[in-house]
Amino acid sequence: MLRDSIRNPTCLDYAATTPLRPEALADMQPVWADVFGNPSGTHELARRAKTLIEVAREGTAVGLGCEPREVVFTGGGTEADNMAVKGAARAGIGQGLDGVVVSAFEHHAVLEAAERLENEGFRVSTVPVTAQGIIDLDRLADVLDERTAVVSLMLVNNEVGTIQPLEDAAGVVRERAPRALFHTDAIQAPQWLDVAAATRSVDLVSVSAHKFGGPKGTGALVVRGKARLVPLVDGGGQEMGRRSGTHNVAGIAGMAAALRTTVQQRAEEVARIGKLRDRLVEGLREAIPDARFNGAAAHQVAGTCHVGFPGVEAEALLLMLDRDGVCAAAGSSCQSGSMDPSHVLMAMGLSRDLALASIRLSLGWPSTDDDIDRALAVIPASVERLRTPAATAR
């Protein structure tokens, strides 16, 4: 049985990535096989590729609640975040804008983009978050001013899964920094939330295909209305000059198909997965009474369970779980292998010890009851072994 579980591990790390949805694969395969033209050309082969891109653009716009011309295809979520934060800040220079505002627990794609801008001379302000994992709107108001160029606040935190009050934050931004562009990293949101509704007051929205069943290396940035960005990539002038480079036609087609399917099935999947997550939480709470669950449960998306086990090193626990066929994570997937505590948990005020004892268990569209059964069989037993070193040594 153990050998079978290792060959077919239980995945509790779908916040890191998801397998391709069948609908995405079905739309990508004909492109790989037959559509090799460069969509920037003018002949028939090029037009076939261009048509696929524009059909995908229309579908992506529907899913994200914007106009097709506002969709900019990128090489993934990190590029979309960098394009938004750096592009908006640099575009503001000519208007006398030099302020960049981010929350303390943004993804590193946003935080390091802000750090780069600070090195270029921009004023960077970091907004604290509460112990529940929610942006502090009062502190946001304090750091905004007439010279703020861009504000970036994520929609769903990638580690603890808390949903941020974007509509309220947008009101604060419009009042205190009326010339600023408002960006949200919505990369963890499409599979759980109606992104079109949640981001209707936001200028710039980043998404990444592989988080909701699309291919890796494909993403999009919504650039609404008259928002202006300085491009990160210059060259061929693709995407109306906003992002040069030959399009990944198959990837774009797959992302559009995955987003369409995600939107169509979201209500049903959220209800089903939420029940699985609740069973996981209750089972862990019963088996490990001193387990500490991080993030406000009332504001978490359905697929996230972030939990700390006092006295247990997360790194050791993850290695033991992996050996027994359960895949999980500590912190962001982009920070795997790091011995430092999660900046997200530290921003929420957790002690260093508890931060280093916490892991993220995340569910996704392929999750099943069997996955929860396996998790509840393996995780408590692993925690117990790690808390009794003598037994572990034997």
* Residues carrying an active site annotation: 334
Q: What is the C-alpha separation between 310 and 290, in angstroms, rounded?
A: 7
- State the virtual CA torsion across 251, 256, 259, 264 in degrees, nearest 10: -140
Range list of β-strands (E), the chain = 10-11, 71-74, 99-103, 123-127, 148-152, 181-185, 204-208, 219-223, 292-293, 304-308, 326-327, 358-362
Q: Structure tokens of 392?
A: 């572990």
Q: What is the C-alpha separation between 28 and 311, in angstroms, rounded?
A: 47
Q: Are strands 148-152 and 123-127 parallel, antiparallel or unpaired?
A: unpaired
- Rg (the chain; Cα; Å): 22
Q: What is the C-alpha separation between 341 and 356, in angstroms, rounded?
A: 5
What angle (nearest 5°) sits at the alpha carbon of residue 254, between those of residues 252 and 255?
A: 65
Is 200 in contact with 65 (CB distance < 8 Å)? yes
Q: What is the C-alpha separation between 352 and 8, in angstroms, rounded?
A: 34
H or E, element range at 57? helix 44-64
Q: What is the C-alpha separation between 291 and 213, in angstroms, rounded?
A: 31
Q: Structure tokens of 40?
A: 């920037």
Range list of β-strands (E), 41-199 = 71-74, 99-103, 123-127, 148-152, 181-185
Q: Structure tokens of 19?
A: 């397998």
User: Can you tell me which residue has the tokens 């295809």?
Assistant: 73
Q: What is the C-alpha separation between 131 and 172, in angstroms, rounded?
A: 21
H or E, element range at 369? helix 369-387
